[in-house]
Amino acid sequence: MVAAAAPSPSSPAAPRIKVLVADDSAVVRGLVSRWLEEAGCEVVATASNGRIAVETLDRVSPDIVLLDIEMPELDGTQALPRMLAKRPGLQIVMMSTLTQRNAEISLRCLALGAIDYLPKPEGNRGVTTTATFREDLIQKIRMLGAALRSRTGPLRRSLPERIGAPERASPAPAPAARPAAPVTLRPRLGRTPPRVLLVGASTGGPRAVGEMLEGIGAAALRRLPILIVQHMPPVFTGVFAEHLGTRTGLPAAEGKHGEGLRPGTIYVAPGGRHMGLTGQGSDITIRLDDGPPVNFCRPAVDVLFRDAAELFGAATLSVVLTGMGSDGTHGAKALVDAGGTMLVQNEASSTVWGMPGSIAKAGYAHEILPLATIGSALRTQIAGGQP
């Protein structure tokens, strides 16, 4: 996914982003370091394994760590908690190839405190020849750096998802930067019982979506179908759906073309495919397509939101959580114009306030809430009450 451009990290208003690159491949370390330096970042150190990466924190203070999962001596999963113990609030991005095993590990690392993940091509040749990897790398570092610099301290972290992870205290939230322009909430025009819950998210979304669904509770979620567009590559979305099913106790899987919607079921947009809706009345099914990216994204939140606005109208309940870019804004307009309800995550609890911030600033949000309270607010809406 390519999001809206961030301020250049080398501009006077934005200090250079300091990065530590940890990967067992000398080729990957060299290429990634060169790309980041050319993009205006400062590579403060490199490490060939997790042990060296952990020890390096005794002498350098990076803003962001790129941490490969598969390394000798101490792999990424072992190095991650040790690095966070040394530097609470450190922004760590996991790198891994697109395999089922690595998708599982990457999501587990997010639960343990990693801020994000970056899919890596297979082998040194793939890293060298795949242009999208370089683009995604630079864009992700720039956006995470911009979000980090917009606060006076480290980004807030949610409590880890309980996927076999030990209880671990989170750093205190840092105060959010004051918005550049006032945000006006969309007035509510009525109260229509929701028939569907739509969720859009990107960077920081895997943890945020799980926490939000847990906050709603299985009893309320069983009343309506839940459709989720999380910007993720193929393989990752299927694993993500399985984790959500484990966490909520509800059926959860990637959506299938022509599949009917069932209450109490979680449908995740497959990586690399748009997920929309088609049909009429009570006969509404999932529509998948391989159309061009929308907002540089596939799957795109806008695709799902626009279809739902047409088919469910005022009976649509939707929420946009943390994420880079502005995907979901055009769809949010269609939803609220049709009478649907739109909630967005606030800046202080977002990893990156791109997608929810874009909707809020456009005036399409009925509520702007911290992640910790979004679940209860949605539960009230599902129950037919007003917050």
Pairwise CA distance, residues 106 & 115, whole Å: 11
Residue 23 is a catalytic residue: no
Pairwise CA distance, residues 126 & 327, whole Å: 28
Q: Read off the tokens for 283.
A: 């006969």
Backbone angles phi, psi at 227, to 5 degrees: -115, 130
Secondary structure class of 344 (helix, strand, coil): strand
DSSP 8-state secondary structure symbol assigned to residue 70: S
Backbone angles phi, psi at 211, to 5 degrees: -65, -40
Residue 202 is a catalytic residue: yes
* One-letter amino acid of 156: R
The vertex-78 CA angle with 240 and 352, nearest 5°, equals: 50
Pairwise CA distance, residues 75 & 77, whole Å: 6
Catalytic position from the list 33, 202, 350, 358? 202
H or E segment and range at residue 94:
strand 91-97
The vertex-246 CA angle with 240 and 249, nearest 5°, equals: 125
Catalytic position from the list 75, 158, 231, 302? 231
Residue 61 is a catalytic residue: no
For residue 147, which of 353, 387, 375, 369 has the smallest C-alpha distance? 353
- Mention every residue, 6+ apart, whose C-beta is less than 8 A from residue 30: none
Q: Read off the tokens for 249.
A: 């106790």
For residue 4, which of 361, 304, 338, 288 has the smallest C-alpha distance? 361
Backbone angles phi, psi at 219, to 5 degrees: -60, -45
Catalytic position from the list 136, 327, 330, 349? 327
Q: In the block, which residue shows the tokens 């690595």?
A: 102
Q: Which residues are catalytic?
A: 202, 231, 327
